[in-house]
Structure 1
Amino acid sequence: MFDVATATIKDDFSTLDGWGIQNRVWGYTGTQTHGGVITDNVCYDADGNLVLIANGDYYEGDKKGINASYSSVRGGKRTGAAVKSRRAYGYGSFEVEMTVPAFNGICTSIWLYNNFPDETAGRENHNYEIDIELHGTAVKENGALRNDGNLSSMACTTWLTEKDYKSQYVAAGKPLNDGAFHKFRFDWHSDKVEFYLDGRLMHTTRQYIPDNEMYFNIGCWFPNNWCGEPNFETDYLTVKSFSYKPFSEKANSLHADPQAGNGTINAAVTVPGRNYFANGSLEYDVGKNEAFTVTGTHEWSKGKLSFDGSLSQTIDIDSAGLSYLLELEMTAGAEVSVAYQTFVGGVKTLKTETVSDGAVLSPPEGTTRMVFTFTGKAKLQSVRLTLAK
Structure 2
Amino acid sequence: MNKKTNRSFRFVVSAILGLSMLSSLIYSVPAPSLAAGPLPADMNLVKNGGFEQDKADWEDWGSATVVTTDVQSGAKALKLGPTEGGMGQKIDGIGENTIVTLSGAGKAGTPGEKAWIGADCLDASDKKLAGGKFVLGFESAAYEQKALSFRTVPGTRKVQVYVYKNPDNGKFAYVDDVALKIGGSLPDDDPPIKSVGPLPPPHPPGVFFDDFKNGIDPEKWLIAKQQWGGQDVNGGVLPANVAVTRDGIVELTGNGDLYSGPVRGINRDGSVRADGKRTGASIVTKYAYASGSYEVRAKILPKLGAVSALWTFFNNGEVNHEIDFEAPGDKSLRKIMTTTWVVEARNTSQVTDFPEQIDGNWHVYRFDWHTDPKRVDFYVDNKLIYTSYTNVPRAASKFWLGVWFPKEWAGTPNFTTDKMYIDWVKITPFLEKGDVRAGNGETGEIGPGTGWAGLNEYPAPR
TM-score range, shorter chain: 0.5 to 0.7
Aligned ranges 1:22-171 → 2 under 5 Å: 22-28=224-230, 31-117=231-317, 125-135=318-328, 148-171=330-353
Distance 1:101 1:201, change over 3 A: same
**Residue 165 of structure 1 aligns to which amino acid in structure 2?**
N
What TM-score do you get using the length of structure 2 for normalisation?
0.51
Q: Which consecutive residues of structure 1, in runs of 5 or more, have no partner in the other structure?
A: 118-124, 137-147, 272-389
Give the secondary structure class of the aligned counterpart of 1:175. helix
For 2:359, the equivalent position in structure 1 comes to: 178
Q: 1:217 aligns with which of 385, 394, 400?
A: 400
1:255 aligns with 2:439: yes
Larger mean CA deviation between 9-18 and 211-220 belongs to: 9-18
Amino acid at match of 2:260: E
**TM superposition shift of 1:175:** 3.0
2:221 corresponds to 1:19: yes
Runs of 4+ in 1 over 2 A off after TM superposition: 13-17, 45-48, 256-271
Q: In structure 1, which of residues 177, 183, 189 is the aligned counterpart of residue 370 of structure 2? A: 189
3-state SS in 2 of match to 1:40: helix
SS in 1 for 2:344: coil
- 1:44-96 deviation line (CA, Å, top 9, x unaligned): 13532111100011111111000111111130111000011111101000011
Say if 1:270 and 1:80 are closer, same or farther in 2 by CA, change over 3 A.
farther
1:259: Cα distance to partner? 2.3
Equivalent residue letter for 2:445: A
Distance 1:93 1:72 in 2: 38
Deviations 1:248-293 (A, max 9, x none): 403111116782343747588999xxxxxxxxxxxxxxxxxxxxxx
Structure 1 residue 164 displacement after superposition: 2.1
Can you list the C-alpha shifts for 1:326-347, whole angstroms capped at 9, x where unaligned? xxxxxxxxxxxxxxxxxxxxxx
Matches of 1:268 and 1:95, distance apart in 2: 23
Is contact 2:331-2:411 (8 Å) kept? no
**Contact map agreement 1:192 1:207 (CA 8 A) in 2:** yes
AA in 2 matched with 1:150: S
Matched positions, count: 248
Name the CA shift for 1:258/1:71 in 2 (closer, same or farther; >3 Å). Answer: closer
User: For 2:454 and 2:430, how far apart are their aligned partners in 1?
Assistant: 28
> Any residues of structure 2 matched to 1:335-374 within 5 Å, and which?
none
Q: Which structure shows the higher strand fraction?
A: 1
76-85 vs 40-49, which moves further = 40-49
Give the distance between the partners of 1:100 and 1:248, measured in 2 at CA. 30
Partner of 2:387: 204
Mapped partners of 2:338, 2:271: distance in 1: 33
Instruction: Say whether the 8 Å CA contact 1:40–1:269 is kept in structure 2.
Output: no
- Contact kept, 8 Å, 1:153 with 1:171, in 2: the verdict is yes
Write the distance in 2 (CA, Å) between the matches of 1:45 and 1:55: 19
Distance 1:264 1:43, change over 3 A: farther
Percent identity, aligned pairs only?
A: 34
**SS at 2:415's partner residue?**
coil
Post-superposition CA distance 1:147-199 (Å, at most 9, x none): x3422221110001110211110112x33122211110100001100000011
Q: 1:135 to 1:126 in 2, by over 3 A?
A: same
Matched to 1:132, the amino acid is F
Query: Which position in structure 1 is the counterpart of 2:84?
Result: none
Greater share of helix: 2
| Corresponding residue of 1:235 | 418
